[in-house]
């Protein structure tokens, strides 16, 4: 893929970015802090492409960027506390973790299958593009995992050239601080990450105590826990064959021996495409997460590229609990 670099000078640049995002392509763009790697939050293939471009070994949930409270309310359920915080601090460096709204335009790969979603309204081009798309954008930092964070179009190009469609060059980043991440409850705010909005400002705006996440480990580190997102049934990985009555998560064109005795089969990608498999993973785990399903078996999935993150997630789903 050829990566275009165009200056973020006028409407034409944003129109080009909008067209690419609508087509499910990735666009690196300046945010208040560093460059973000933006994609359509509702598109499983766009979100999978973000993880692939960054070479992330895990599916961390991503922050959704919206253009205001109206779009935010299509994404998440707001209570009065959350609404007060948004009105006070948006646009700006405050990310709210809230219950995912029904029919939210957010793909499960972007939330890593969580029932909550992290969202904020940024300043500038990221918010404007979400507005043009009329959908949220996910935008983690525009750098390969473990590499230097992109604070200019040149640095972003060095890391991601050939892997993304477009870089909007808005000059060097001011390098502000990251967004504060907070989970509001009726009686307290849980501060998940310190950032541009202070603890005191949050407490003052909400009129509530701000607590640390130690007491809420599952909230603190979604995805980091060994057995998080695990379905109710037992999960067997790298299966060479299916035993009668098992629920099967398959991959690729070759049928597992014994597949005809399965209770149900979901194939993550009949053609063996890892990006497609990533996009279907959380929906498959959710479909088989039921008290009535006690045995789930997963075919062996290659460990290269997105396969590393897929296998990491499956290992957590299968961990003893």
| Residue selected from 222, 231, 233, 252 as contacting ligand AMP according to rule CB under 6 A | 222
The piece of 57-65, 79-87, 123-131, 235-243 that touches ligand AMP (CB under 6 A) is 57-65
Q: E-strand spans in the chain?
A: 4-7, 27-30, 35-40, 63-65, 94-99, 116-120, 137-138, 166-169, 180-184, 189-193, 210-211, 234-239, 247-250, 264-267, 295-299
The piece of 103-111, 140-148, 169-177, 252-260 that touches Mg ion (CB under 5 A) is 140-148
Is residue 117 at the binding interface for ligand AMP, with CB under 6 A as the rule? yes
Site string for ligand AMP, 85-104 (x = CB under 6 A): ------------x-------
Is residue 140 at the binding interface for ligand AMP, with CB under 6 A as the rule? yes
97 token code pair:
């973790």
Is residue 121 at the binding interface for ligand AMP, with CB under 6 A as the rule? no
What residues pair up with 193 in beta bridges, in sequence order? 181
Nearest residue (CB) to ligand AMP, 46 versus 114 = 114
295-299: strand order across its sheet: 234-239, 295-299, 247-250, 264-267
Is residue 269 at the binding interface for Mg ion, with CB under 5 A as the rule? no
DSSP label at residue 255: P
The piece of 12-20, 40-48, 56-64, 282-290 that touches ligand AMP (CB under 6 A) is 56-64
DSSP conformation letters of 9-29: -SHHHHHHHHHHHHTT--EEE
DSSP conformation letters of 129-193: HHHHHTS-EE--BSS-TTSPP--SHHHHHHHHTTTSSEEEE--S----PPPEEEEE-SS-EEEEE
| Residue selected from 192, 274, 314, 317 as contacting ligand AMP according to rule CB under 6 A | 192
* 20 close to 166: Cβ distance less than 8 angstroms: yes
Residue among 191, 142, 206 at smallest CA distance from 5: 142
Nearest residue (CB) to ligand AMP, 247 versus 316 = 316
Residues 267-306 binding ligand AMP (CB under 6 A) are none
Is residue 60 at the binding interface for ligand AMP, with CB under 6 A as the rule? yes
CB of 285 to ligand AMP, least distance (A): 16
Is residue 114 at the binding interface for ligand AMP, with CB under 6 A as the rule? yes
| Residue selected from 21, 41, 63, 81 as contacting ligand AMP according to rule CB under 6 A | 63
Q: How large is the angle between the packed helices 125-133 and 11-22, nearest 10 degrees?
A: 50
Residues 13-42 binding ligand AMP (CB under 6 A) are none
**Partner interacting with residue 116 (select from ligand AMP, Mg ion, none; CB below 5-8 Å by kind):** ligand AMP
Site size for ligand AMP (CB under 6 A): 15
Q: Which residue pairs, CB below 8 angstroms and at least 24 apart, start in 261-265?
A: 263/293, 264/288
CB of 159 to Mg ion, least distance (A): 11
CB of 253 to ligand AMP, least distance (A): 34
Residue 120 sits at φ, ψ, to 5 deg, of -155, 160
Is residue 141 at the binding interface for Mg ion, with CB under 5 A as the rule? yes
Is residue 142 at the binding interface for ligand AMP, with CB under 6 A as the rule? no
The SS3 assignment for 281 reads helix
Is residue 179 at the binding interface for Mg ion, with CB under 5 A as the rule? no
- Pairwise CA distance, residues 313 & 137, whole Å: 23
| Binding residues vs Mg ion (CB under 5 A) | 141
* Footprint on this chain of ligand AMP (rule: CB under 6 A): 60-63, 97, 111, 114, 116-118, 140, 178, 181, 192, 222
């Amino acid at each position: 893929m050829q990566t275009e670099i165009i200056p973020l000078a006028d409407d034409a640049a944003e129109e080009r970015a909008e067209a690419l995002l609508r087509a499910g392509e990735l666009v690196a763009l300046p945010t208040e802090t560093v460059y973000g790697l933006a994609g359509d939050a509702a598109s499983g293939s766009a979100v999978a492409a973000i993880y692939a471009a960054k070479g992330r070994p895990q599916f961390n949930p991503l922050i959704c960027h919206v253009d205001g409270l109206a779009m935010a309310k299509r994404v998440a359920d707001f209570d009065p506390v959350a609404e007060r915080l948004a009105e006070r601090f948006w646009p700006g460096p405050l990310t709210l973790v809230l219950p995912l709204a029904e029919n939210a335009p957010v793909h499960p790969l972007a939330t890593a299958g969580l029932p909550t979603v992290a969202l904020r309204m940024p300043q500038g081009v990221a918010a404007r593009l979400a507005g043009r798309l009329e959908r949220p954008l996910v935008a983690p930092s525009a750098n390969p995992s473990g590499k230097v964070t992109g604070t200019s179009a040149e640095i972003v190009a060095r890391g991601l050239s050939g892997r993304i469609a477009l870089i909007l060059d808005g000059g060097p980043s001011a390098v502000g601080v990251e967004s504060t991440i907070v989970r509001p409850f009726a009686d307290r705010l849980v501060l998940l990450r310190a950032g541009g909005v202070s603890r005191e400002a949050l407490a003052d705006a909400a009129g509530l105590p701000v607590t640390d996440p130690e007491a809420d480990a599952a909230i603190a580190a979604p995805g980091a826990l060994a057995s998080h997102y695990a379905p109710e049934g037992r999960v067997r990985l790298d299966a060479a064959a299916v035993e009668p009555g098992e629920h099967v998560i398959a991959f690729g064109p070759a049928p597992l021996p014994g597949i005809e005795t399965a209770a149900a089969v979901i194939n993550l990608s009949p053609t063996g495409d890892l990006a497609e498999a990533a996009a279907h993973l959380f929906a498959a785990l959710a479909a088989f997460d039921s008290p009535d399903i006690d045995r789930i078996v997963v075919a062996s999935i290659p460990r290269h590229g997105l396969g590393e993150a897929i296998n990491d997630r499956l290992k957590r789903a299968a961990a003893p609990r």
